[in-house]
Amino acid sequence: MTALMVQGVTKRFLGVTALDDVHVDARPGEVLGLVGPNGAGKTTLVNVITGHFGPDEGAVTLGEQTLTGAPIERIARCGVARTYQHMRLLEGYSVIDNVLAGRHQAFKGRVFQLWRVRRREEREQRAATRELLDRLGLGDVADVSVSSLSYGRRRRVEIARALAAQPSVMLLDEPTAGMTPAEAKEIGELIRSTSREGLAVVLIEHNVALVSEVCDRIAVLDWGKVIKLGTPDEVWADAKVRAAYLGGELL
Ligand SMILES: Nc1ncnc2c1ncn2[C@@H]1O[C@H](COP(=O)(O)OP(=O)(O)OP(=O)(O)O)[C@@H](O)[C@H]1O
């Protein structure tokens, strides 16, 4: 497993500097929180890492691999998976088919294979996906349409789909948005236990209590700049953070 490094990334949209010389890293086995007021640049940073936007300046690397400016599919195949602020599930398809889609996307075109070998791989992938669904508490709905699931379970399917690609880095954009506190707590526990298996998780999250509980380190963005990067205690004790984030009324 390899670390994600963002070095000196700047991204401008017409008159807006959405990211301004951003330096952050996410280490294998840790959860890195990405927090900050609305419009601070959190989603833009995720979009630059995943190749949805190229940066104007700076570099993104994963171990020895340079991701800067690479197409989205290549970055995904390098081991970067994500979920979106607004869910993008294949409506009307089963949970297992949605999750398998994540797996196929990551592995497609990898090698030319005989039909027989492909059939065997497909069976193996289905079995591995069922195991993953069991682990995420979705085993009982594997063959059910995602459209009929509760909001919390649909969010879980999104995470399962990202994990199915066996990433080194998983970027989660507000995975607990719209959840009940109990559902959010469960997702928090899931994120933490998943990271402990060795992947780096980058978590955009507005829920301060959850982010403090789940994250090893937190990067605070404000107006496109990282104003603090440290442990939850270090971050929330920082005067600049308190001033920028929720106008000083943090905890
Ligand atoms: N595609 C785009 N075109 C123009 N401006 C954009 C684009 N994407 C983001 N921006 C601008 O960049 C800035 C950062 O936006 P971004 O969505 O990254 O913030 P955020 O921290 O994720 O906010 P939120 O918490 O509200 O999701 C904002 O001023 C936003 O309007």
CA proximity to 224, closest of 84, 18, 70: 18
Give how many domains the chain has, as a whole number.
2
Ligand 1 lined by 22 (C-beta under 6 Å):
no
**What does the pLDDT look like over 1-32, one tens digit per residue?**
568 999 999 999 998 999 999 999 999 999 99
Strand ranges (DSSP E) for 108-224? 169-173, 200-204, 217-222
Residue 52 has pLDDT above 50, yes or no: yes
Please give the pLDDT value at position 251. Answer: 46
63 and 117 belong to one structural domain: no
Distance CA 217, CA 172 (A): 15
35 and 151 belong to one structural domain: no
Instruction: Tokens 């995720």: give the residue.
Output: 46
Share of the chain above pLDDT 70, in %: 91
pTM exceeds cut of 0.95: no
For 44-53, what is the mean pLDDT?
96
Q: Distance, CA 39 to ligand 1 centroid (Å)?
A: 5
Domain presence at residue 88: no
**What does the pLDDT look like over 198-238, one tens digit per residue?**
999 999 998 889 999 999 999 999 999 999 999 999 999 99
Structural domain boundaries, residue 48: 1-79+168-251
Ligand 1: residue of 10, 11, 16, 53 to mutate (most ligand atoms within 8 A of CB) is: 16
Question: Among 76-80, 104-108, 235-239, 247-251, whose mean pLDDT is lowest?
Answer: 247-251
Domain presence at residue 159: yes
Which alpha helices (H) appear in 136-195, and where do they start and end?
151-164, 181-195
Residue type, 150: S
Burial of residue 95 (number of CB atoms within 10 Å: 0-12, 13-18, 19+): buried
Ligand 1: residue of 6, 11, 12, 13 to mutate (most ligand atoms within 8 A of CB) is: 13
